[in-house]
A and B are shown apart, each in its own frame.
Chain A
Amino acid sequence: MPEFRLAQAGPLWLTLHVPLSFANPLGLLALLGVPAVLAIHYLQRRTRTIPVATLFLIEQRRDQSRMGRRFERLIGSWPMWLQLLIVVLLAAHLSQPRWPLAGSVQRLAVVVDGSASMRVSKRDLLHQLTTVAQRCQSLARRTEYLVLLDDPTQARLYAGDSLPAMLQALERWNPVGGPVDPTPSLRLARERVGKHGLVVYATDTPLEKLPADAVLLAVGHPLANIGITGLSVGQQDGQAVWRALVCNRSASPQTRAWHLEWDQGMRSPDALVRLAAGGMESLSAAMPAGATRLRLVLDKDEFSLDDSFAFLTPTPKPLTYRHSLPAGLNWLPERLGRSVPGMAAAAPGMAADIVLAAASDGQFPTVLGSGILMSATGDANAKTLAQPVVAVHHPMVAGLSWETLTVQDVPMVPAKPSDVVLVWCGPQPLVSLRPVPLAEGAAAAATPAQQLVLHFNPEFSNMERLPAAAVLFLRYCEEVRLAKRGTSRDQLEPRQALAPLLPGELHGELVSETLDLAGNIVSSRNIPPNGLAGLRAPDEPGFLRVREGATTLIDGAVAFADAREGDFRACATRVATTDVASDSTAGDALGPWWPMVVLLVLLALLASWALIGKASRTQTH
């Protein structure tokens, strides 16, 4: 990584806004010759003692002082002035001053680390960026700025030629994300500014190597941060209990006070949690009766995002099922009702969300909506299929192991061409997803329902004991739940995309509202149908509601839960930038005058020698 050649060379020019830069700022170190020359003359120049009888005729000084004597030993020597001139000219020659060319443009692209930890360092970032930007201003008549996030999918923060506007954009920016590889954004920034532009990666955690000739601007600093790393609500002894983990990310023991607050001004007494250096502690308590919106609060520190955790009383969107399975398969609806939160058998006469049905005579019964269909044929003495069982790459079966699934080698229900087979055994499809044709009058944008098809009879397989099967059924139920129209109570993260949480079929314009702890609306905005992609959770922790008319679709709590961002131990400040002067923007300020400069140096050298020789002869005489 190119090092900043002389970061200290700029402040004077930056302050004075003199558009002058140096191709080799290290050359300015030659100016150290100035004090050297002064020191040499000071030490060499001894005062002569002159006996006189006419002291009363020498005019008396007005500035007579004791300290004047040492200072005067440095005054009035032509050789000294000439040698100082030589030093200055040499420094100018070595540092190669550059003057911006007419019409030149210097481009500065800043890729900022969008992780939440950057909130702490934003002020330092603005300060350092101002310095870098002012230095760029000295290189060209015009400067263009581009500010990107390290996540290339995010919109740019600023593009233009106004430094104050750029700083304002960064001032308004609230980072909430997690760590992202900045390489794509850095390459994009390099493409945008060209080879002569400056690409700066602003972060709080120094990196050793950066692509695209980017220079590092690390503005972080280690921080003793105490924060909530996660919270869950579960059941204990038939009672809802919340449990939170608090982590001490510092090298010293810490003590923090905490309390729980909920709904309309309710608040628990303060309690203390003591954390060992780098340790974690668990906090837990029963959910307050009747509480809906809750917030766990720790004492504030510099990084406040993880000092509170907003959550809701978990109330899953209800799911119902109905089955018409043979007795040998009754274990399946029974386990679904026991394992899937909010799942229950449909009341008689009511439509079920999921229908479980078995095939008879090689044909599945007609099921209009979501359902789990399976074969009912089989024989206890039939052989099992010997070919290996493999799964395709599909979210529904991702990460699941099917190798141990044993299925009888009996005639199975064939797959339809529209089926998406998830699990194969040789050429035989075992599990597939079957899309259900949309009913007439359904919205075109509505997501079609899918049925989970088991082409074999689970009764004569080991599917009941197979973990992958349990996960598959759970995933399917959750997908059905997601598509079901109703109120979804979700735990969200800041800026989380909300579109995937919405039911597939929407009828009107959505309204996104942020709520306070009591459920009062803090802010509200309408979401047009084509704006669903931009519908995200708020940047700040709190509570959220998305409704369609009077129907609440999402009732969520937003809490920061990225434990990596709360760890500031690797943060540091490292300003490594480079010489950004380039031929495209700046011309050699002394270019036409170099022969004159060299001539001046030689003349000064000769004159200095001559004067020193003359002075020496005079002294001798």
Chain B
Amino acid sequence: MLPDSQMLLDAARQAAACAARLRLPLRTRVWQGAAGELAGAGTGASMDFQDHRPYFPGDDPRHINWQAYARTGQYTMKLYREEVRPSVDILFDASPSMFLTPEKALRSAGLLHFTLECAQRGGAALSIHLLGQTAARAIEPASVAAMRWVDELPAATASPNTLPDLHAIRLRPNGLRVWISDLLCTGDPAVPLRALGHGHGSGIILCPFAPEEAAPEWAGACDFLDVESGRREARHIDAGVLRRYRAAYDAHFQLWKEQARRFRTPLARIAATGSLESALASGALPAGAVETGT
């Protein structure tokens, strides 16, 4: 079920509260890009002293260290860190599985709002892409802030659970790519992970999950309805089937974690239960997907 306005309001409220304590790891990296508020990879005009170097003709004389010249008689330049504005690309998986249960829908929406809040607080240049089952759509950050993004979700179509083609999305170079997805799809995880790191970018995966998926209590005759493809399948679930399902579920995410580790992409599984802050603290913080705000 898609989140309604009340749920979006709750999600935004939880995200705001959470963003006051946690944030995206924007400050732990050195960015490149337009002038901004965060330290860049090069030298700039910020207040942060970075290094000394001999003077070369053409250097700005305002940055000559006159005290050093008085001591040594050599012109020495003072170098200051560059301040840049990072770019953050938010890739939100808008497939029906993200809204499988009300809790998971709330958590998915909360993560989107949290990411947006963190990026805005970090002064990042934002772009938001809603990834549908077959197509992606870029939306304005204001749309999320105004809680109108649900209306802009790509129309749901019955299609198999396959990985989205992130290469087809124009991601800005040197940026942070936050992929919010439950990863419940088939395919090689390396493909989207490689796309996340494309163009010197770095990626973060925030993966909401519902306990109904991780530890279901199915028993007996069940008529399963695949929310992605619309396919129905009647199955009798006994303890053996349930045990094998859980093993397959664990193996699925174990594979994703291994691949994410290989591509140095933090992957945080965010439980749909409890508050967003506690879920991020227990899932995203240890994975390095978020950091504390202090």
Show the binding face of A for B, using Cβ within 8 Å. 45, 47-59, 61, 68-69, 72-73, 75-77, 618
B234 nearest CB neighbor, chain A only: A69
Assuming the contacts A57-B248, A59-B245, A618-B217, asked whether A52 and B238 have C-beta atoms less than 8 A apart, the reply is no
A74 to chain B, nearest CB (A): 9
Complexed CA–CA distance, A59 and B231 (Å): 15
A45 to chain B, nearest CB (A): 6
B96 is an interface residue with CB less than 8 A from chain A:
yes
Instruction: For B213, list chain A residues within 8 Å (CB).
Output: 52-54
Instruction: For B248, list chain A residues within 8 Å (CB).
Output: 57-59
Partner of B224 from the list A45, A50, A72 (CB cut-off 8 Å) is A50
- Which chain B residues in 197-237 approach chain A with CB under 8 Å? 213, 217-229, 231-236
B257 to chain A, nearest CB (A): 16
B244 is an interface residue with CB less than 8 A from chain A:
yes
Instruction: For B41, list chain A residues within 8 Å (CB).
Output: none
| B235 engages A61 (CB within 8 Å) | yes
Instruction: For A76, list chain B residues within 8 Å (CB).
Output: 220, 236, 238
A108 to chain B, nearest CB (A): 52
Assuming the contacts A57-B248, A57-B249, asked whether A50 and B226 have C-beta atoms less than 8 A apart, the reply is no
Assuming the contacts A59-B241, A69-B234, A618-B217, asked whether A53 and B226 have C-beta atoms less than 8 A apart, the reply is yes
| B225 engages A50 (CB within 8 Å) | yes
| A48 engages B100 (CB within 8 Å) | no
Partner of B241 from the list A58, A69, A73 (CB cut-off 8 Å) is A58
Instruction: For B236, list chain A residues within 8 Å (CB).
Output: 72, 75-76
How many residue pairs link A and B with beta carbons under 8 A? The number is 80
| A72 engages B221 (CB within 8 Å) | yes
Instruction: For A47, list chain B residues within 8 Å (CB).
Output: 221-223, 234
Supplied contacts A53-B227, A57-B252, 4 more A-B pairs, CB within 8 Å: A52-B225, A55-B226, A55-B231, A76-B220
Which of A45, A49, A50, A75 has the most C-beta atoms of chain B within 10 angstroms of its own C-beta? Answer: A50
Complexed CA–CA distance, A72 and B219 (Å): 12
Complexed CA–CA distance, A47 and B220 (Å): 8
B14 is an interface residue with CB less than 8 A from chain A:
no
B134 is an interface residue with CB less than 8 A from chain A:
no
B184 is an interface residue with CB less than 8 A from chain A:
yes
Complexed CA–CA distance, A395 and B172 (Å): 139
Instruction: For B233, list chain A residues within 8 Å (CB).
Output: 55, 58
Complexed CA–CA distance, A57 and B226 (Å): 11
The range of chain B's interface size is 20 to 34
Partner of A51 from the list B100, B219, B238, B244 (CB cut-off 8 Å) is B100
B99 nearest CB neighbor, chain A only: A53
Complexed CA–CA distance, A48 and B228 (Å): 19
Instruction: For B232, list chain A residues within 8 Å (CB).
Output: 49
Complexed CA–CA distance, A69 and B248 (Å): 24
Partner of B223 from the list A50, A58, A618 (CB cut-off 8 Å) is A50
A55 nearest CB neighbor, chain B only: B226
Instruction: For B249, list chain A residues within 8 Å (CB).
Output: 54, 57
| B226 engages A45 (CB within 8 Å) | no
Assuming the contacts A45-B220, A59-B244, A59-B248, asked whether A52 and B235 have C-beta atoms less than 8 A apart, the reply is no
| A48 engages B235 (CB within 8 Å) | no
- Which chain B residues in 221-277 approach chain A with CB under 8 Å? 221-229, 231-236, 238, 241, 244-245, 248-249, 252
B174 is an interface residue with CB less than 8 A from chain A:
no
Instruction: For B244, list chain A residues within 8 Å (CB).
Output: 59
B87 is an interface residue with CB less than 8 A from chain A:
no
| B235 engages A58 (CB within 8 Å) | yes
| A50 engages B222 (CB within 8 Å) | yes
What is the predominant secondary structure among interface residues of chain B facing chain A? mixed
B182 is an interface residue with CB less than 8 A from chain A:
yes
Instruction: For A55, list chain B residues within 8 Å (CB).
Output: 224, 226, 229, 231, 233
B115 is an interface residue with CB less than 8 A from chain A:
no
Complexed CA–CA distance, A58 and B241 (Å): 8
B97 is an interface residue with CB less than 8 A from chain A:
yes
- Which chain B residues in 32-50 approach chain A with CB under 8 Å? none
Complexed CA–CA distance, A56 and B55 (Å): 65
Which of A47, A49, A52 has the most C-beta atoms of chain B within 10 angstroms of its own C-beta? Answer: A52
A552 to chain B, nearest CB (A): 91
Complexed CA–CA distance, A58 and B216 (Å): 12
Instruction: For A72, list chain B residues within 8 Å (CB).
Output: 221, 234-236
- Which chain B residues in 89-106 approach chain A with CB under 8 Å? 96-97, 100
In the assembled complex, 26 residue pairs joining A and B whose CB atoms fall closer than 8 Å, in A order, are A48-B222, A48-B223, A49-B224, A49-B225, A49-B232, A50-B218, A50-B223, A50-B225, A51-B100, A51-B224, A52-B100, A52-B213, A52-B227, A53-B184, A53-B228, A54-B213, A55-B224, A59-B244, A59-B245, A72-B234, A72-B235, A73-B221, A76-B236, A77-B220, A618-B217, A618-B219
B159 is an interface residue with CB less than 8 A from chain A:
no
Partner of A45 from the list B221, B231, B245 (CB cut-off 8 Å) is B221
Instruction: For A61, list chain B residues within 8 Å (CB).
Output: 235
B74 is an interface residue with CB less than 8 A from chain A:
no
Complexed CA–CA distance, A77 and B237 (Å): 11
- Which chain B residues in 167-195 approach chain A with CB under 8 Å? 182, 184, 186
Partner of A49 from the list B186, B223, B229 (CB cut-off 8 Å) is B223
| B225 engages A54 (CB within 8 Å) | no
Which of A49, A55, A68, A72 has the most C-beta atoms of chain B within 10 angstroms of its own C-beta? Answer: A55
B131 to chain A, nearest CB (A): 15
Complexed CA–CA distance, A127 and B127 (Å): 93
Complexed CA–CA distance, A298 and B244 (Å): 82
B65 is an interface residue with CB less than 8 A from chain A:
no
B288 to chain A, nearest CB (A): 26
Complexed CA–CA distance, A392 and B39 (Å): 154
Complexed CA–CA distance, A77 and B219 (Å): 10
| B161 engages A53 (CB within 8 Å) | yes
Assuming the contacts A53-B96, A53-B100, A53-B182, asked whether A58 and B234 have C-beta atoms less than 8 A apart, the reply is no
B180 to chain A, nearest CB (A): 15
Instruction: For B235, list chain A residues within 8 Å (CB).
Output: 58, 61, 72
Complexed CA–CA distance, A69 and B219 (Å): 15
Complexed CA–CA distance, A534 and B23 (Å): 123
Instruction: For A77, list chain B residues within 8 Å (CB).
Output: 220
A119 to chain B, nearest CB (A): 61
Assuming the contacts A47-B222, A50-B225, asked whether A56 and B241 have C-beta atoms less than 8 A apart, the reply is no
Instruction: For A51, list chain B residues within 8 Å (CB).
Output: 100, 224-225, 227
Assuming the contacts A61-B235, A76-B238, asked whether A56 and B161 have C-beta atoms less than 8 A apart, the reply is yes
| A52 engages B224 (CB within 8 Å) | yes
Partner of B245 from the list A50, A58, A69 (CB cut-off 8 Å) is A58
Complexed CA–CA distance, A58 and B226 (Å): 11
A44 to chain B, nearest CB (A): 11
Partner of A52 from the list B217, B219, B226 (CB cut-off 8 Å) is B226
A486 to chain B, nearest CB (A): 96
| A53 engages B97 (CB within 8 Å) | yes
Complexed CA–CA distance, A76 and B238 (Å): 8
Instruction: For A57, list chain B residues within 8 Å (CB).
Output: 245, 248-249, 252
B97 nearest CB neighbor, chain A only: A53
State the 4 A-B residue pairs at the shortest beta-carbon distance, nearest first.
A53-B97, A72-B236, A55-B226, A69-B234
A621 to chain B, nearest CB (A): 9
Instruction: For B234, list chain A residues within 8 Å (CB).
Output: 47, 68-69, 72
A203 to chain B, nearest CB (A): 57
| A56 engages B186 (CB within 8 Å) | yes
A512 to chain B, nearest CB (A): 81
Complexed CA–CA distance, A429 and B255 (Å): 133
Instruction: For B96, list chain A residues within 8 Å (CB).
Output: 53
Complexed CA–CA distance, A65 and B219 (Å): 20
Instruction: For B97, list chain A residues within 8 Å (CB).
Output: 53
Instruction: For A618, list chain B residues within 8 Å (CB).
Output: 217, 219
A501 to chain B, nearest CB (A): 86
Complexed CA–CA distance, A149 and B48 (Å): 129
Complexed CA–CA distance, A69 and B223 (Å): 9
A31 to chain B, nearest CB (A): 26
Instruction: For A75, list chain B residues within 8 Å (CB).
Output: 221, 236
Complexed CA–CA distance, A77 and B220 (Å): 8
A60 nearest CB neighbor, chain B only: B233
